[in-house]
C-alpha cells in the first residue's frame, strides 16, 4: 500500500537553528512528493514539491527538501528557523496516475522557541 | 481575493440533522476535493471531482453526498449527522493533467455535533 510516514509528532527547535522535519514514503512507481504547512484555523498551504530532477528542492519561505531515493525519504529543512515557522507540517504523496489522489502523512508539529 | 472559499466556517448542530457545506474556487481549476481532518489532525481524502465528474469516492458513509453543479463549485451534503462526523472539513482544488500541480485549500468548516 502506498503511504507516507512522519516519524516525529513534534519537533522543537530554537530560533536561528536549522530545522528538519522528516518524511518517508512507500509508493509503487515514481514518487511525486509534496510538503504543506497548516497554521491554526487555516487550510493547508503548499510549500514545495519533488517531481523529478535535482534532489534538493527549494520552496516558499526559505524551506527546502531533500529527496533521497535509496532511503525513500523527503525531509523538509530550513537553515535558520523563525518563531513564525511554528505550525503543523504535512508530507504528501501522489498515489494515482492522474494527480487526483493524494495520501497525507499524519503531520508534524513544529515549535520554534524564541 | 480568496482562491478557495468555504461556507460556513463554523457549523454547530444536533445529531440527526442534515446539513450542507459549500465550496467555491476562483482559480479556474478542473478538479476539486473534500477532505476530513479529525481531532488528531489526520487528513483523509473523501471525494474528488474532475470537470463535475466524480473521480474518487473513498470509503465514506453514503450519508455524505457531494454535488458539483459546475467546475467552480463542490458542495457536501451530510444526512443524519452523527457524533463521529465532528471534524474539520476542507475543500481543495487543483489543475490536474500530468503537471503535478499542488492543491489549494480552503480554510475549513468546523463541524460540531451536539
The dihedrals phi and psi of B8, each to the nearest 5 degrees, come to: -85, 170
pLDDT at B97: 65
pLDDT at A97: 66
The proportion of chain B whose per-residue pLDDT surpasses 90, expressed as a percent, equals: 75
Question: Which of A41, A46, A100 is opposite residue B96, by nearest beta carbon?
Answer: A100
Taken in order B19, B25, B29, B30, the sign of the CA dihedral is positive
Tell me the per-residue pLDDT of A58-103, one tens digit each, with 9 for 90 and over.
999 999 999 999 999 999 999 999 999 999 999 999 877 666 788 9
Best CA proximity match to B41, nearest among A74, A39, A59, A20 = A39
Question: Which of B50, B90, B100 is opposite residue A51, by nearest beta carbon?
Answer: B100
Helix (H, G, I), strand (E, B) or coil at B6: strand
Between CA B2 and CA B27 the distance in angstroms is: 9
pLDDT at A99: 61
Q: Nearest CA of chain B to the CA of A66: how many Å?
A: 18
pLDDT at B24: 97
What chain B residue is nearest to A5 in terms of C-alpha separation?
Answer: B42
Amino acid at each position: 500500500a502506498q503511504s507516507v510516514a512522519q516519524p516525529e509528532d513534534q519537533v522543537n527547535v530554537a530560533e536561528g537553528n536549522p530545522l528538519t522535519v522528516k518524511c518517508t514514503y512507500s509508493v509503487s512507481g515514481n514518487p511525486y512528493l509534496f510538503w504543506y504547512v497548516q497554521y491554526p484555523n487555516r487550510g493547508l498551504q503548499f510549500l514545495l514539491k519533488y517531481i523529478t530532477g535535482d534532489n534538493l528542492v527549494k520552496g516558499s519561505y526559505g524551506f527546502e527538501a531533500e529527496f533521497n531515493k535509496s532511503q525513500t525519504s523527503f525531509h523538509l529543512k530550513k537553515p535558520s528557523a523563525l518563531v513564525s515557522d511554528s505550525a503543523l507540517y504535512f508530507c504528501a504523496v501522489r498515489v494515482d496516475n492522474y494527480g487526483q489522489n493524494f495520501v497525507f502523512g499524519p503531520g508534524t508539529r513544529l515549535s520554534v522557541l524564541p | 481575493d480568496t482562491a478557495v472559499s468555504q461556507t460556513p466556517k463554523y457549523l454547530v448542530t444536533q445529531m440527526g440533522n442534515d446539513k450542507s457545506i459549500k465550496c467555491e474556487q476562483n482559480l479556474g481549476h478542473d478538479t476539486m476535493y473534500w477532505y476530513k481532518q479529525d481531532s488528531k489532525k489526520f487528513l483523509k481524502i473523501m471525494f474528488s471531482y474532475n470537470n463535475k465528474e466524480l473521480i474518487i469516492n473513498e470509503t465514506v458513509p453514503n450519508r455524505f453526498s457531494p454535488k458539483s453543479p459546475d467546475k467552480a463549485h463542490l458542495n457536501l451534503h451530510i444526512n443524519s449527522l452523527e457524533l463521529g462526523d465532528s471534524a474539520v472539513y476542507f475543500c481543495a482544488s487543483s489543475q490536474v493533467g500530468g503537471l503535478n500541480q499542488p492543491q489549494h485549500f480552503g480554510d475549513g468548516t468546523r463541524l460540531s455535533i451536539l
